[in-house]
Amino acid sequence: MHSPLGEQLPQLQAEYAAQQAKGLKLDLTRGKPAPEQLSLSDALMELPGLVPHVSDEGFDIRNYGGGEGLIELRRIFGELYGIPPTQLLALANASLQLMHDALMFAYVFGVPGGEKPWGKEEKLKFICPVPGYDRHFAITEALGFELIPVPMHDDGPDADMIAELVANDSAIKGMWIVPTYSNPSGATTSLEVARKLVSMPTAAPDFRIFWDDAYALHPLTENPPASLPILELAAEAGNPDRVFFFASTSKITYAGSGVAFFAASPANLAWLKQRMAVQTIGPDKINQLRHALHLKNPDGVRAHMAKHRDILAPKFAAMDRVLTQRLGDYPEVATWTKPEGGYFISLDVLPGTAARVVELAKGAGVALTPAGSTWPYGKDPNDSNIRLAPSMATVPQVEASADILATCILLAAAKTSGS
């Protein structure tokens, strides 16, 4: 057993000063792929055989049109996501933009099954599982939704709490969810929770689940489970229009130069296509063809993701190893998740100390995502959650960062217990 933290304060202060003196510059802020991960797709820069090219559907990919995206690519990803290619659109480069557009379209024009545009409602609310993804929260915050936090558990968001909320409040128009290896806890939504979400009665007739499966194909382990066929589950539950599915190749090929996907029921697809026909004359099919040629088929994607896993898994293991060595004896002061996929670890420190930990870490050269960013409005009421993103750093950098972070966590806690 360890001595009380308050008594360790002088020793922790000396340790922190020694770490500061090293003058390191480390960054665990955002979940970006590391350069060696990006290099796995450098064939995209020089693939032969791109022109002239007529797609399997018979049109010249160099021209306008093909608004649903290249069928060659939709077939590959349809199989991986458990969605018929006819229900999966391959669109622009960023799924976040699609989520933003879908919400804007709902706000301005309404969605199938709704009585009026969302923006014409007196009050708008949106369910936000916490800890969650700051950029999701930012979109709904920008549109004036009231953001309602709901706990994220190991098997997905608290479906019973959500069911109770949405049953009685027609202002709640939708919810965010990252169903697989969520950002930031790494939790994967179970079949049981998914079934509850697609079958629960909702006071709003036009309630939508923004099912952002950004990490569906990003396991850190071998033999991961297949994606939940969420559109099928929604249809089986009698609510085929409830789900908007989003995903992208941002963390498969190039972040920012990949392909984003949207999938939904036939009614929702017709709705989105109608809106998008006003917005664009078609997506970048050349980039889509590059992706189809590079990734080849579903097994090609799986093999490619195994290479990502080989790069990423040691970084996650390093973080866990050092945190366990340094903090394993202090479960009252720090707990963290052990994701089996995705890009993040969710760390909970002694309530009331997260912001101080982030500040201390910065002082010793470790940049962390601001405390509070995993909560709506950037405000964690417990001031305890911190998102860790180990992907960009090298293994030695992850180890050094985790060591400094551990000192900061103990120091912040020792000061609290000593005061």
Q: Which is nearer to ligand PLP, 121 or 212 (CB)?
A: 212
Neighbours of 199 (CB within 10 A): 16
CB 137, min distance to ligand PLP, A: 11
CB 258, min distance to ligand PLP, A: 7
Site for ligand PLP in 380-419 (CB under 6 A): none
Is 211 an interacting residue with respect to ligand PLP (CB under 6 A)? no
Residue from 250, 288, 337, 369 in contact with ligand PLP (CB under 6 A)? 250
Helices (H) and strands (E) counted in the chain, each on its own, are 13, 13
Q: Which is nearer to ligand PLP, 44 or 333 (CB)?
A: 44
Site for ligand PLP in 13-32 (CB under 6 A): 31
Q: Which is nearer to ligand PLP, 183 or 401 (CB)?
A: 183
Q: What is the DSSP string of 265-281?
A: -HHHHHHHHHHHHHH-S
* Nearest residue to 31 (alpha-carbon basis) of 137, 221, 181, 142: 181
CB 290, min distance to ligand PLP, A: 17
CB 344, min distance to ligand PLP, A: 8
Pattern 347-366, ligand PLP, x by CB under 6 A: --------------------
Pattern 76-95, ligand PLP, x by CB under 6 A: ------------------xx
Q: Which residues of 11-29 are buried (b: 16+ CB within 10 A; e: fewer)?
A: ebeebbeebeeeeeebebb
For residues 347 and 184, give the distance between their C-alpha atoms in angstroms, rounded to a whole number. 9
CB 404, min distance to ligand PLP, A: 24
Distances (CA, A) of 201 to 147, 160, 174: 20, 12, 13
Q: Which is nearer to ligand PLP, 263 or 409 (CB)?
A: 263
Q: Which is nearer to ligand PLP, 112 or 283 (CB)?
A: 283
Residue from 212, 241, 284, 403 in contact with ligand PLP (CB under 6 A)? 212
Decide: 393 and 36 in contact? Cβ < 8 Å.
Answer: no
Is 345 an interacting residue with respect to ligand PLP (CB under 6 A)? no
Q: Which residues pair with 211 in a beta bridge?
A: 177, 245
328 exposure class (CB count in 10 Å sphere: 0-12, 13-18, 19+): exposed
Is 214 an interacting residue with respect to ligand PLP (CB under 6 A)? yes
For residues 164 and 182, give the distance between their C-alpha atoms in angstroms, rounded to a whole number. 23
What would the two tokens of residue 240 be? 């085929």
The torsion defined by the Cα of 300, 301, 307 and 311, in degrees rounded to 10, comes to: 170
Q: Which is nearer to ligand PLP, 30 or 321 (CB)?
A: 30
CB 201, min distance to ligand PLP, A: 27
Q: Which is nearer to ligand PLP, 127 or 408 (CB)?
A: 127
Alpha-carbon dihedral sign for residues 371, 140, 280, 260: positive
Is 263 an interacting residue with respect to ligand PLP (CB under 6 A)? no
Q: Where are the alpha helices (DSSP H) in 354-419?
A: 354-363, 395-418
Site for ligand PLP in 108-147 (CB under 6 A): 133
Q: How many CA atoms lie within 13 A of 248 on its CB side?
A: 20
Q: Which is nearer to ligand PLP, 183 or 385 (CB)?
A: 183
Q: Which is nearer to ligand PLP, 70 or 327 (CB)?
A: 70
What would the two tokens of residue 46 be? 């020089």
Sheet holding 345-349, edge to edge: 334-336, 345-349, 385-388
Distances (CA, A) of 113 to 145, 173, 267: 20, 12, 9
- How many amino acids of this chain bind ligand PLP (CB under 6 A)? 13
Residue from 37, 41, 183, 202 in contact with ligand PLP (CB under 6 A)? 183
- At residue 127's C-alpha, the angle toward residues 209 and 125, to 5°, is 105
CB 215, min distance to ligand PLP, A: 7
Is 248 an interacting residue with respect to ligand PLP (CB under 6 A)? yes
Q: Which is nearer to ligand PLP, 96 or 411 (CB)?
A: 96
Cα 171 from chain centroid (whole Å): 25
CB 308, min distance to ligand PLP, A: 14
CB 346, min distance to ligand PLP, A: 13
Q: Which is nearer to ligand PLP, 263 or 412 (CB)?
A: 263
Binding site for ligand PLP (CB under 6 A): 31, 94-96, 133, 178, 183, 212, 214, 248, 250, 255, 260
